A = this chain, B = another copy of it.
Amino acid sequence: MSQGFDSPEAVEAAFYGAFAATDLGAMAQVWLEGDTAVCVHPGGGLLLGKNAVMRSWSEILTGAAPPRIEYRLINRIEAADLRIHLVEERIQAGGDPASTPSLVLATNVYARGPEGWRLSVHHASLPLMPARAAKGSERRLH
């Protein structure tokens, strides 16, 4: 089945649903085919192309206890066949209901092709520093 989705929102729901269910097959349906899909996991390197992206999700999801995931849209940018969502994710590791959820910021890009909408970019990062602290280290980079 190579059918895409009816809307960016449907892709997004399917993406976080596949992640929360540790469902690798469902995750593969979400992503854009080809060499241009981009995924950056929190603290991770660049993954370019669907094959590399899906290898990483296989490592993450296979054998993992289903995490609890909440997500919240913070900002969106629209074009005819492109949608950009800035999303705040709250992820609680599977198998440990007492663990503290981690906050993740993600820029998700959805693209519409002939088959419908798919996930094209997922760039996620961990806010390690309070927003207005750690000036010294911020100065070193940006």
Which A residues contact B (CB, under 8 angstroms)?
19, 36, 38, 40-48, 56, 59-60, 64, 67, 74-75, 77, 79-82, 84, 86, 88, 91, 93, 102, 104-105, 107, 109, 111, 120-121, 123-132, 134-135, 137-142
Q: How far is the CB of A15 from chain B (nearest CB, A)?
A: 10
Decide if A86 touches B131 in the complex (CB within 8 Å).
no
A-B CB contact pairs (8 Å), 15 listed: A36-B75, A36-B77, A45-B105, A46-B88, A46-B131, A48-B75, A60-B138, A77-B120, A80-B80, A84-B109, A91-B140, A93-B140, A105-B123, A107-B123, A126-B141
Q: How far is the CB of A106 from chain B (nearest CB, A)?
A: 8
Separation of A48 and B84 alpha carbons in the complex (Å)? 15
Q: Which residues does chain B contribute within 8 Å of A130, judged by CB atoms?
A: 45
Total copies of the chain = 2
Decide if A47 touches B121 in the complex (CB within 8 Å).
no
Chain A interface, DSSP helix/strand/loop, else mixed? mixed
Separation of A120 and B81 alpha carbons in the complex (Å)? 18
The residue from B45, B80, B81 contacting A127, defined by CB atoms under 8 A apart: B45
